[in-house]
Amino acid sequence: VFLQPWFSLPQNVAVEDKKPAHCGTLIQTANGGSFSSPNYPNTYPPNKECVYILEAHPRKRIQLIFDDIYYIEPSFECRFDNIEIRDGPFVFSPLINRFCGAKSPGIVTSSGRFMWIRFTSDEELEGLGFRVEYSYTAGKCILQIDLHAFRS
Ligand SMILES: [Ca+2]
């Protein structure tokens, strides 16, 4: 039997190059929960991008409550570090707001059942970041209200 070292070699070197650790997730739970920036409440790392996509059940909306313990590097128009929240499932969904600085955004609510959230940090100046609790609230029932009014 010929041992062919070059043949088994790829198994040993076939460890994939590890990309920078991703963060963020797709959240599709029936109940609420929470997530936070990496290392929270300690300083988040530089050069980080975390995308969180929340999906609520049909006819539900998503409510975020930001913790008061909050700090994202402040900058004009939050162009450096920020957390960006969009009213829908996509990067191009309507922008709700982009947050940074020392004041917690408080409560942010979607109009539909999806929310797209991205936390970004640049190469310098970090903060302790954010923590958010999400929950699902009843959507607007305009159609039902209209029908009710029509009958009475
Ligand atoms: Ca920064």
State the CB neighbour count (10 A cutoff) for residue 134.
Answer: 22
pLDDT of residue 60: 93
pLDDT classification of 151: cutoffs 50, 70, 90: low
Fold of 19-151: Jelly Rolls (2.60.120)
Ligand 1 centre from 122 Cα, in Å? Answer: 4
Measured CA to CA, the distance from residue 82 to residue 119 in angstroms comes to: 6
Residue 11: the pLDDT is 44
User: DSSP label at 84?
Assistant: E
Domain limits of the chain?
19-151
* Structure letter (DSSP) for residue 58: T
Could you read off the pLDDT of 94-138 as tens digits, one per residue?
999 999 999 999 999 999 999 999 999 999 999 999 999 999 998
Question: How remote is the CA of residue 125 from the centroid of ligand 1, in Å?
Answer: 4
Span 33-67, pLDDT tens digits: 999 999 999 999 999 999 999 999 999 999 999 99
